[in-house]
Amino acid sequence: MGVGNPNSLGMMNIQLYGSDGKNSEGYPRYCSGTFLNLGDSAFEIFGTVDYNYYRYRLSVDGHGHRITKLHRRDASDDYSLQHHWTGSYWYLRGYYGDSYHAGVQVDYAGSAGYAPNSTYLYASDSPFRYGDSASYYMRMRYNVNGDNRWYLSVYPETPKTVAVDYAYSAGNADTLDGYHWLSFVTAGVYDSGNFNTFYNRSFVGSIYATSNSPTGSALWFNTVQIAHRNGESDGSNYISQITIGMTGSKNRMWFRGSRTDAWTEVISSANIGSQSVNYATSSGNADTVDNYHIWAGSSSSLPASRNNNTIYLVY
């Protein structure tokens, strides 16, 4: 073991020697040591292995006591990790020399805190592996199909679905469980509206009709509206409606084949007495009337034997 005082190069050093002697250049076969450069306060480590000399400079700041670069362990090159304070958080990045090279991937973080830009999101438990093959992760991308939306998906593509346990608001989706939104009927309430134009798609719910109601008055109605093609394309031209009085005209039902047609009321036991029936010019042929058989003919053909269950009409 040797300890050196400051030499002509301005260095102080500590060395550990092996016992195998020195070569012709004065290097021991095995040794290791460190020295401090008094000029720039930089530490260096050196050593010999089988008389081969190695020397590495430790990257430190001007104070000589803080390491500013963390070099890789799998190669001897100028790649390193460096970190600095942004004023809000610590920033760790990869460098080649002092030039930025790449970002840093963290294999596991007990708490990730805040990440302003995360390309991949790995799971922290076993489900992040699928079929004991490659690791799967979620990634978020923007404007994938040119529709100015964010997309959250699992990559690689199988499995590709992302299950959301609870969403306060799901935004807009064209499909639900594989069904296009036009396959569904809207349910709801319209507090005020024109019965002819209040909604252009299929609908089940209530409407307070302020105009064009079946009764001509502003009332609440429970309504089923059926729109051809659910209102798409020319579907708004073919909308049928069935409605029942809710707060007034209860137990009365109306329908119309087109929402601009006149209403037709359904006859029931509740309103049969108020209905009028047009005169029938012909009722067809009937064998009995009120359980009596009808016979009609001339007097010359009147049967000689008659019974009480027959009404005879002679002309």
| Spans of the chain below 70 pLDDT | 1-27, 37-42, 58-67, 108-136, 156-164, 170-171, 277-284
Q: What is the pLDDT of residues 127-169, one digit of tens each?
A: 445 455 556 677 777 887 888 877 777 776 655 566 667 777 7
Are 113 and 96 contained in the same domain?
Answer: no
Domain that holds residue 131: 105-169
Instruction: Look up the pTM and report it.
Output: 0.42
290: in domain: no
Are 126 and 53 contained in the same domain?
Answer: no
Are 202 and 262 contained in the same domain?
Answer: yes
Q: 110-116: long-range contacts (C-beta < 8 A, 24 or more apart)? A: 114/89
Are 42 and 11 contained in the same domain?
Answer: yes
Number of domains in the chain: 4
> What pLDDT is stored for residue 127 in this prediction?
44
Paired tokens of 49 = 């292995």
143: in domain: yes
Are 191 and 241 contained in the same domain?
Answer: yes
* E-state strands within 143-227: 150-155, 175-176, 179-180, 186-194, 203-211, 219-227
Paired tokens of 136 = 């799967």
Are 156 and 234 contained in the same domain?
Answer: no
Phi/psi at 143 (5° precision): 60, 40
Are 188 and 226 contained in the same domain?
Answer: yes
Identify whether the C-beta of residue 207 lies closer than 8 Å to the C-beta of residue 219. no
Domain boundary residue among 169, 191, 207?
Answer: 169
At a CB cut-off of 8 Å and minimum separation 6, what does 299 contact?
Answer: 314
At a CB cut-off of 8 Å and minimum separation 6, what does 289 contact?
Answer: 311
- Residues facing residue 227 across a β-bridge: 239
Helix count and strand count (H, E) for the chain: 0, 23
Pairwise CA distance, residues 185 & 59, whole Å: 69
305: in domain: no
